A and B are shown apart, each in its own frame.
Chain A
Amino acid sequence: YELTQPPAVSVAPGRTARITCGGNNIGDIRVYWYQQKPGQAPVLVMYHDSDRPSGIPERFSGSNSGNTATLTINRVEVGDEADYYCQVWDSSSEHYVFGTGTKVTVL
């Protein structure tokens, strides 16, 4: 199972960033999202497609339907600049799968 993300997304402060994660019928399985800043470990920012862990700002939201899952960051801040990865559990292969990653740059 493969997850495809755009390599890069650029957004101005205060605007909305949308990061997509493409996979075959991904809407049928749960998607998770991680934020990774340079030199740091990944941090879970979204689980079960659209649930935010404690401490994650409401500016972060998620959706998942058809062949695309999306992480949306509203009112983007400079501190949101990071790499973002989607992840699923593929039960058919009994594999965890990570997406290719998207670098979000805040202009």
Chain B
Amino acid sequence: QVTLRESGPALVKPTQTLTLTCTFSGFSLATYGMCVSWVRQPPGKALEWLAVIDWDGDKFYNTSLRTRLTISKDTSKNQVVLIMRNLDPVDTATYYCARKSGDEGDSFDVWGRGTMVTVSS
């Protein structure tokens, strides 16, 4: 069974740095075609893709957020980490990690439950 779980702080102050961890099981990020992505959703708003890292370490970022984001992986720990710098209240959102296996094209076939992050002083 494939599962992903997001973890990180629920409350962050403006200008601070957010570190989110996606811990997954049921697949290996060393497998050809596998990717893990981060997607966020502000309250009442649409999904927004943030970043993705694939099986051989390639990384892609949302251009509008690129300077503030860093994505990395620890294949041995089955974890993907997203770092977001210089937080602002508009970054308040539920943050999801999701898997792309390649079996269903460029879709995210399994998602974590999400973690809500509030940016407030």
Contacts and interface: CB of A to CB of B under 8 A. Distances in A.
Say what secondary structure dominates the interface of chain A: strand
B47 A85 contact: yes
Contacts of B49: 95-98
A42 B111 contact: yes
B113 interface: yes
Nearest to B52: A96
Contact of B112 (A41, A51, A87): A41
Most buried by B among A40, A47, A97, A99: A47
Interface string A73-107: 00000000000010111000111111111000000
Interface of B: 37, 39, 46-49, 52, 60, 62-63, 96, 98, 104-109, 111-114
Interface of A: 30, 32, 34, 36, 40-44, 47-48, 51, 53, 85, 87-89, 93-101
